[in-house]
Amino acid sequence: MTRHTELEVILSHEHADFDALASLLGAALLYPQALPVLPRRINSNVRAFVDEYQNELPFYQPQDLPRGHVQRAILVDTDGVNLVKGMDDETTYFVI
C-alpha cells in the first residue's frame, strides 16, 4: 500500500474577491504548514493582481497541489466547502 503525504490546505469561496485573497494570505501566515489554494474561479481584477505578483505570492492552483490526502481544510471567508483533490470523509474542517 502506498502512503501519500498528509496535507493541510486553506480554501475560500469561488469567484474570489480581494477579501478572499487576503484571507487566504492571512491564514497562510498563521498556518505556515498549510497550502493556500486559489479557487478555480476568481474575479477578473483579482486574477490580474495574482498574475502580476504570482512570484511573490504563496498560492497554489488546485491542479498543482502535491499528491496526498487532505487531512485538514482551513476555511476562510466562505460559508461552504470547495473540494480539491485528496479530500474525503476523513478530512476535518476548521473555520476561521
| Mean pLDDT of the region 57-73 | 94
| pLDDT for the residue numbered 1 | 40
Strand order in the sheet with 35-36: 35-36, 5-11, 68-75, 92-95
Give the residue-averaged pLDDT of 70-88.
88
pLDDT at 83 over 90: no
Question: Which grid coordinates are listed for 16?
Answer: 474570489
How is the chain split into domains, by residue range? 5-95
d(C-alpha 8, C-alpha 28), whole Å: 11
Q: For the chain, what is the radius of gyration of the CA atoms? A: 13
Q: Check residue 59 and give its pLDDT.
A: 97
pLDDT band at 58 (very low <50, low <70, confident <90, very high): very high
Longest Cα–Cα distance in the chain: 45
Q: Are the C-beta atoms of 74 and 31 separated by less than 8 Å?
A: yes
pLDDT in tens, 2-57: 456 899 999 999 999 999 999 999 999 999 999 999 999 999 999 999 999 999 99
Q: What is the pLDDT of residue 3?
A: 53
